[in-house]
Amino acid sequence: MKNKHKQFAVIGLGRFGTSVASALYKLGYEVLAVDADEERVQKFSEEVTHVVQADTTDENSLKALGIRNFDVVVVAIGEDVQANVLTTLLLKDLGVKHIVAKARNELHGKMLTKIGADRVVYPERDMGQRVAHNLVSTNVLEYIELSPDLSIVEITSPRTLIGQSLAEANLRAKYEVNVVAIKRDEEVIVPPQPNEKIKDGDVLIFVGQTKGIQKLEELE
């Protein structure tokens, strides 16, 4: 069960930070939003539980926020890499339990992991990849890269596969992918059996080698 008493703090109210903070608040969690910019703080004051103006690269300001008491702190400072890294470092020093930090690129991400961020996210890269896969194939609904070699993809069943059972389609041998679920209207079939026939309008969820997934995306 979800713990609605979990408290979140989001630092940096740019596009990513505001979207994370609002989403958590709408899900029913307590959310503290922090930004150095007074104007941004004012604008966001109605959207979450508390909004505070503070420079989080200042240790005393962070302490004053009682940041240690939050279960998860999201560092959503984007452009200013130095402020992003320094904030993450201070949060770690102060003993914050779970730090999620936004990275601009791989190197920045590595640095955040070294410092002790528990989770590093790459919103721009992830969204870029999703849009790219969706542009290549209109069948692609969702794309998530798990590692450079491994991805999960959600595809509207290509015409060539309709009417075949999973065993007949033999996707594991052909593309090195596994169908982990089929979404059919309101129903989700997990895991689908080998004799399950692919129907028109089915949404197939695959996990597998990125190379194989790319070939699958090209099916009409």
Residues that bind ligand ADP (CB under 6 A): 11-17, 34-37, 40, 55-57, 76-80, 83
**Of the two residues 72 and 121, which places its CB atom closer to ligand ADP in the complex?**
121
> What is the closest distance, in whole angstroms, from the C-beta atom of residue 28 to ligand ADP in the complex?
24
> What is the closest distance, in whole angstroms, from the C-beta atom of residue 89 to ligand ADP in the complex?
12
**Of the two residues 67 and 72, which places its CB atom closer to ligand ADP in the complex?**
67
**Cis amide bond preceding 194, omega within 30:** no
**Of the two residues 80 and 142, which places its CB atom closer to ligand ADP in the complex?**
80
Cα–Cα distance for residue pair 37/22, rounded to 1 Å: 18
Contacts 24+ apart (CB under 8 A), 101-104: 101/74, 101/75, 102/12, 102/16, 102/74, 102/75, 102/76, 102/77, 102/78, 104/78
**Of the two residues 111 and 179, which places its CB atom closer to ligand ADP in the complex?**
111
Measured N-to-C along each axis, helices 106-115 and 81-93 cross at an angle, to the nearest 10 degrees, of 20
> What is the closest distance, in whole angstroms, from the C-beta atom of residue 77 to ligand ADP in the complex?
4
> What is the closest distance, in whole angstroms, from the C-beta atom of residue 140 to ligand ADP in the complex?
25
CA 114 to chain centre: 20
Cα–Cα distance for residue pair 162/184, rounded to 1 Å: 13
